[in-house]
Amino acid sequence: MHWIDRVARALLKRGKKHVIASGISISGHIHVGHSNDVFIADGIRRAVEESGGKATALWYADDYDPMRRIPWPLNQGEHAERYRKYLGMPYIDIPSPDPEYENFVEYFSKSFVDSLRDFGVKVKVYSGAKIYRSGKMSRLVKTALENAGEIRKILNRYRSTPLPDDWLPYDAICEKCGKIATTKAFAWDGSVVKYRCEGCDYAPGCGHEGESDYTNGEGKLTWRVEWPARWKLLGVTCEPFGKDHAVAGGSYDTGRSIAKRIFNYDAPYPVPYEWVSFRGDRMSSSRGVVFTLPQWLEIAEPELLRYFIFRSKSMKAKDFDPGLPLLDLYDEFDMIEQVYFDRRDVAEPKRKKQYKRIYELSLVGPPPIRPVQRLPFRFAAVLCQVTQDEQHAIEIMTSKGILAKPSGRDIRLALIRLRRARNWVSKYAPERLRFRVLKEVPVEAVRRLTEKQKEGLARLADDLSSRDYTPVELHNRIYEIGKSIELKPSELFKAVYLALLGRESGPRVGNFVSVLDREFVIGRFRDAVNL
């Protein structure tokens, strides 16, 4: 059973109706590493509904949080000095660097939210700022203030330095400087909280002493109290969250105690997950180590990101690299799709069942009724460099057996993948996979060919003139020719590249030669042999 289904089963034992929460602080560009919780929430929603329950997934924008660091790219050049004054202010109150967007929050979150539908993610979106300013949190803020002493005891169990006796679980927005991170609440009466703007380790205070009306959203609960209050407000029954919150004494532990003892609410079923790294480096909005959903859609299908998340357990480390490893991701997805339609055998029935479930969770919609013919991405990455004409590309795909009697859907999906391959080649492909076939024989390069290499090219030219090969068949045939003349296959590959590209390396030979005009290739090989 897939781990998503185990979570759904556990939830349904608790009841038939569920709210699965996710969310993120809008601290900069929202990247694929942030996608973990919202994609997992959506996957759980699906599984609950498939098992007969009712479920809603939500995504909560923590846009009332303070800006602790200036995010990339605003920490560069003239922007850096301009945005320094906004440190400590709520994200929602910070202006956008682009007048096309209403504010800082919309600038950094809109493309993410707008892209969720493309990935088949069905969630209800909430804004923390709107919830506070609407007064919906007022009753819970009051409850927290009334029980500040009890909350302090809960938190102090996990602190090396106890909170002071006058501590209150409330962060006021300074009415003078607009900062929320710099204030300290010290007293309250009715709906008013008194505070001093004292400063914090990353933003100076202005020294103002004032009052904040929490019923008007002039402040917010501190994080460790706000989280359980939010569970109560929205009726959350399950929530995926980063592993840092799951450590002993972390936000979830304290939140569970506060939810039960202060808000009389059972904590949601926890689903902790591991971080997603980018080429071995932790993704970071502030440092600009990001890869966004729109960037993903430029080079890969939305199903691949879902597959990337659901192919392994939530706590397994995941690393994304848009370079060569993306090709493996494409291959894996195409493989499990073939398994789903019983077009590829898997020895272990249990593994086969697992693959089929991963495939279902990876899809943006219901599974297709008929098997899908896919254009292999490795082949697409070569084909897109040979022709810009899509009709010509279709002719190559069909003539080489890549697509057999394709349906309109097969062709549409193939062309979409071809366009993404073109983007991938231009932005992320290593140099050795980028090429330009030379119009004339590269004389200097060809003169480096050995007699054995020339013999191999001559045999290959004869074979190509006698029959058609699929890319895989051609790749294997080159191996066979090399062995038959006691030449290492790698040396024959080099000969092919030297004759066509004037260099010793290039894309996978079978794909590369297959996309070229056969008569051109035969002529080039023979010219190289006879030079």
pLDDT at 181: 98
Read off the pLDDT of residues 58-76 as tens digits, 9 standing for 90 and up. 999 999 999 999 999 999 9
Tokens of 70: 């200036």
pLDDT at 463: 93
Give me the percent of the chain exceeding a pLDDT of 90: 92
**Dist. CA 307–CA 310, nearest whole Å:** 5
Other CB atoms within 10 Å distance of the CB of residue 298: 16
* Alpha-carbon distances of 91 from 154, 196, 216, rounded to whole Å: 29, 21, 18
Is the model's pLDDT at 5 over the cut of 90? yes
Give pTM, 2 decimals: 0.93
Per mean pLDDT, which range of 168-177, 184-193, 432-441 is the poorest? 432-441
Q: Which of 395, 21, 378 is nearest to 229 (CA)?
A: 21
Q: 115 — phi, psi (to 5°)?
A: -80, -20
pLDDT at 213: 98
Give me the percent of the chain exceeding a pLDDT of 70: 100
Other CB atoms within 10 Å distance of the CB of residue 392: 12
**Confidence tier at 531 by pLDDT (50, 70, 90):** confident
* Alpha-carbon distances of 18 from 5, 8, 60, 432, 527, rounded to whole Å: 14, 10, 16, 51, 70
pLDDT at 284: 85
Q: Return the SS3 of 115.
A: helix
pLDDT at 287: 84
Mean pLDDT to the nearest integer, 179-204: 97
**Do 330 and 304 meet the contact criterion of CB atoms below 8 Å apart?**
yes
Q: 252 — phi, psi (to 5°)?
A: -70, -40
